[in-house]
Amino acid sequence: MGIRRLSDELEKYGYVFSLRRSALLYGTMFLCIFALGRFFALHLTALLVLFAYSLILLPFFIRSILKNRYHQKRFSDLNIYMEQFLYSFQKSGKILTTLEDMLLIFENGHMRKTIEQARDHILFTFNESRVEKNALAIIEEAYPYDGLKTMHRFAYSTEVLGGDYEDSILLLLEARRMWADRVYVLQQEQKVKRREVFLSIAVSLLLCSMIFLISSRLEVDVAAHPIVQVITTLVLMSDMWIFYIADKRLTVGFVESDHTNDAEMVERYRRMKRYSDKNPIERLARRAAKKTLSRELEKQFPNWLMEVSLLLQTENVSVAITRSYELAPELLKPPLQEFLLEIAEKPDEMAPYLHFLDEFALPEVRSSMKMLYSLSSGTGGNARGQIADIIRRSQQLLDKSEKLKNEDSLAGMYALFLAPQLTGGCKLLVDMVLLLVLYLKESLW
């Protein structure tokens, strides 16, 4: 079952079996293993174990390489699509015309095929009330990036409701540019981390080999000892596994938005609200939950503020916030519900705005909510200027939150950087002890 799943993955990422290519790959791998075996003076049994281990591991390395290329291609296609969609929609204001323009840009491939499906859905569907919206959902399903959904919602809303959308187009173009820049930075950081792990493995193995130079001068054959043979084989296998894990963790999608822990975070928020400050244990649990939720809210709040900013182009603050509820991240829906209820009770007061997420003490949230209240009450002067300020703030916060997500995706890489040094250190220690024992034994005899 596992082999079949791996085969399906390789096919998904574009791998085409070729006898010549396979022979070249496995031949290169065997030459590298043979060179390592000669370098560490491994016996035939140890070499055969390494060959068998590499034979099993190689398809997984191939999967990581192909997966990385696959994600880079998807990102490149989506980046081009979003940029050109906005420019085209800016001229026509029509989704169908925009999709037809996109087909002129993309050659044969997954993106073109997906756009064709969306275009054909509009042209040949006659029994739906929201044809364009459902057509765009086809592209969103194939490329599940939150920014793409925001852009499509804006386009559909504009086509249905009309209105001046120039400022919103500029806002979305800037958001796309910042997203692309963040991904480019992340890709470079991934290359650096992958290189660091590889160099850590290479340096640790070179240091391990130093003991063999010392033993040759002392005329003690440490490398041939069965314990050293076993330890060397295990270290080489461990280092290959460490590099595979590092490569796998660094091969991440740039298009897919991660919502795997949304339900867990919502439940944690609800539990936190039930905790009592009077109970010492619950007080500690509340503090721990707030710390986790604060970081998550810091990442998700800008997405909601971006939606509100777009809605403010055509709606007043109250309607924009109400309509934003359905589009909000799942974690923000419970506090938003509380916020909307409080606004209904005190529509003209600032208190509901200040109470929104106030227990988490996030300065960006408080400042943004003050600006929304000022715009709602009409006390801040030029409304267009205030909306522009909110847009700038949402852009800055969104950029910061996405950088936090990228940092989280690279978390733990330092441990993988240190791991080869630990395995190499263990081998070096065993080699030195054996060298001392064997040398003393020969000296005494």
Distance from C-alpha of 172 to C-alpha of 148, rounded to nearest angstrom: 10
Whether residue 78 contacts residue 165, with contact meaning beta carbons closer than 8 Å, is answered with no
One DSSP character per residue, 309-333 reads HHHTTTS-HHHHHHHHTTTS-GGGH
Of 389, 369, 268, 374, nearest in space to 321 by CA = 369
Banded pLDDT at 1 (limits 50, 70, 90): very low
Cα distances (Å, whole numbers) of residue 174 to 41, 312, 368, 396 = 58, 17, 19, 11
Whether residue 207 contacts residue 430, with contact meaning beta carbons closer than 8 Å, is answered with no
Residues 6+ apart with CB under 8 A from 283: 275, 276, 277
Q: What is the mean pLDDT of residues 210-228?
A: 77
pLDDT digits (tens, 9 = 90+) for 341-380: 999 898 888 999 999 998 888 888 888 888 888 888 776 5
E-strand spans in 177-267?
Answer: none
pLDDT digits (tens, 9 = 90+) for 59-101: 888 888 888 888 889 999 999 999 999 999 999 889 999 999 9
Distance from C-alpha of 438 to C-alpha of 444, rounded to nearest angstrom: 10
Listed as own residue / partner, the contacts of 34-37 with beta carbons closer than 8 Å and 24 or more positions apart are 36/236
How many helical (H) and strand (E) elements, i.e. helices and strands, does the chain have? Answer: 17, 0
Whether residue 289 contacts residue 275, with contact meaning beta carbons closer than 8 Å, is answered with yes
378 φ/ψ sector (left φ>0, alpha ψ -120 to 50, else beta): left
